[in-house]
Structure 1
Amino acid sequence: MRVLVLGMGKTGKLVATVAAERGHSVNVLDAKENAGASALTPPFVSGFDVVIDFTTPEATIQNMRACLATGAKMVIGTTGWYEKLNDMRGLAERKQAGLLYGTNFSVGVQVMFRLAKTMGADLKKAGYAFSIAETHHASKLDSPSGTAITLAKVVEAAAGVSEVPVEARREGDVMGLHTLTATSDADRLVLTHEAFSRRGFAEGAVRAAEWLASRTGCYDFQDVYTEV
């Protein structure tokens, strides 16, 4: 498979490494080489089976508009752009492109979402109050994280509450620490996911790209992670 990786940050570099380890041909573009999506011409994009984006929210929107318009397959690991999701979904559908996005490509985090849904549903009538705390590296742009926002939405829907408060911290080079706490007058239940490295995110993104390569349409990794 021919893979184009957009973004030369720490995660983007690791995605390129993992893709190469899995036997794929890999090309990487950094921000300077692709300013304003200028490198993503139709002839260039057509040379790849899948495009994987780990850039910034602003760059991601430009990259999606350029790539999806050609009918390309894209895996988006960047977060913070979801206000444009309906527009990008519509573009992918019109152009018969493929779009797979996710707030977190770690399978462990996806299992956390499933367990959080169970917690919310089972504790909704038992008087528990829910809260979320997340910590990431100091250079992470979005706060709270997309993962924390998704986690909150999962619990809100399952527990029937209007808002789950999220505390976000940015410290050092923390890969990602998310904790869901349910507290009552009688006890406390804590669900935690801690990432030790970025590799879980990178492997999930590459496996998602392999899955998307033969498909069109728009997908949330949360809905398909068991298939990749």
Structure 2
Amino acid sequence: MRVLVLGVGKTGKLVAQVAAEHGHSVHVLDAKENKDGAGLTHPFVAGFDVIIDFTAPEAVVQNMRACLATGAKMVIGTTGWYDKLADMRGLAERKGAALLYGTNYSVGVQVMFQVAAQMTKALEGAGYTFSIEETHHVTKLDSPSGTALSLAEAVEKAGGLGKIPIEAHRSGDAAGTHVLVAQSAADKLILTHESHSRRGFAEGAVRAAEWLSTRTGCYDFRDVWMKL
């Protein structure tokens, strides 16, 4: 499979490495080569089976517009752009393209979402309040993280709750920690996911690209990760 990786940050570099380990042909395009999406011409994009984007919120929408317009298949690991999701889904559908997006490509995090929903349902009506705390590296642009927002959504939906408070921290080179706290007058339950490296994200993104390579349409990683 021919894979184009957009973004040469720490996660993007690791995605390229993992894709190569999986036996794929990999090309990496950095921001200097792709200012405002100008490097993503139709002939260039046509040379790849799947495109994986780990760039930044201000770049990813332009990248999607350029690539999806050609009917390309894209896996988006960048967060902070979901206000444009309806537009990007519509573009993918009109052009017969494929779009797979997710706030977190770690299988462990996907399991955390499921456990959090089950925990919330089990505690319903028992006097518990919920809160979330997340910590990421200082260069992460969106705050709170997309993962924290997805975790809050899972809890809110499972318990029919209002907005769950999220406390965000940016520190050093932290790969990412998410903590869900359920507190009552009697006790406290804590559910934690701590990333030791970015490799889990990279492995998930590459597996998602392999899965998407034979499909069209728009998918949320939360809905397909068990099929990979």
Contact 1:133 1:167 in 2 (8 A): yes
* Residue 120 of structure 1: aligned partner: 120
Q: Which residue of 1 aligns with 2:151?
A: 151
- CA–CA distance in structure 1, aligned partners of residues 131 and 211 of structure 2: 34
Q: Match of 2:48?
A: 48
The superposition leaves residues 45-74 of structure 1 with CA deviations (integer Å, 9 ceiling, x where unpaired) of: 000000000001111000000000000000
Give the distance between the partners of 1:106 and 1:155, measured in 2 at CA: 19
Q: Aligned partners of 1:99 and 1:124: how far apart in 2?
A: 36
- Is the Cα–Cα contact under 8 Å of residues 92 and 99 in structure 1 kept in the other structure? yes
Distance 2:153 2:166 in 1: 11
Query: What CA distance in whole angstroms lies between the structure 2 residues aligned with 1:226 and 1:123?
Result: 26
Among all aligned residue pairs of Structure 1 and Structure 2, give the percentage whose two residues are the same amino acid: 72
How many residues are matched? 228
> What is the alpha-carbon distance in structure 1 between the residues aligned to residue 58 and residue 226 of structure 2?
30
| Residue aligned with 1:193, SS | strand
How big is the shift at 1:169? 0.2
1:186: Cα distance to partner?
1.2
Which stretch shows the higher mean deviation, 72-81 or 118-127? 118-127
Following TM superposition, by how much is the alpha carbon of 1:121 offset from its aligned partner in structure 2, in angstroms? 1.4
- 1:162, CA displacement in angstroms? 0.8
CA distance in 1, matches of 2:161, 2:111: 21
Equivalent in the alignment of 1:36:
36
Q: Tell me the equivalent position of 2:216.
A: 216
1:68 corresponds in structure 2 to 68
Q: Look up the SS of the partner of 1:175 in the other structure.
A: coil
The TM-score with structure 2 as length reference comes to: 0.99
- Contact 1:131-1:181 at 8 Å conserved across structures: yes
User: 2:220 is matched by which residue type in structure 1?
Assistant: D
Q: Distance in 2 between matches of 1:47 and 1:92?
A: 18
3-state DSSP of counterpart to 1:209: helix
Q: Is the 8 A contact 1:75 1:209 kept in 2?
A: yes
SS in structure 1 of the partner of residue 18 of structure 2? helix
In the TM superposition, what whole-angstrom CA distance separates every residue of 1:115-156 from its partner, at most 9, and x where no partner exists? 011111111211100000000001110000000000001101
- String of CA shifts for 1:139-198, please: whole Å, max 9, x gaps: 110000000000001101111111100000000010000000101111111100000000
* Runs of 4+ with >6 A deviation: none
Unaligned stretches of 5+ residues in structure 1: none
User: Could you tell me which amino acid in structure 1 is paired with residue 30 of structure 2?
Assistant: D
**What is the correspondence of 1:152-191 to structure 2 with a 5 Å cutoff?**
152-191=152-191
The SS at the match of 1:108 is helix
Deviates further, 193-202 or 182-191: 182-191
How many Å separate the matches in 2 of 1:164 and 1:127? 15
1:8 aligned partner: 8
Q: Is the 8 A contact 1:124 1:160 kept in 2?
A: no
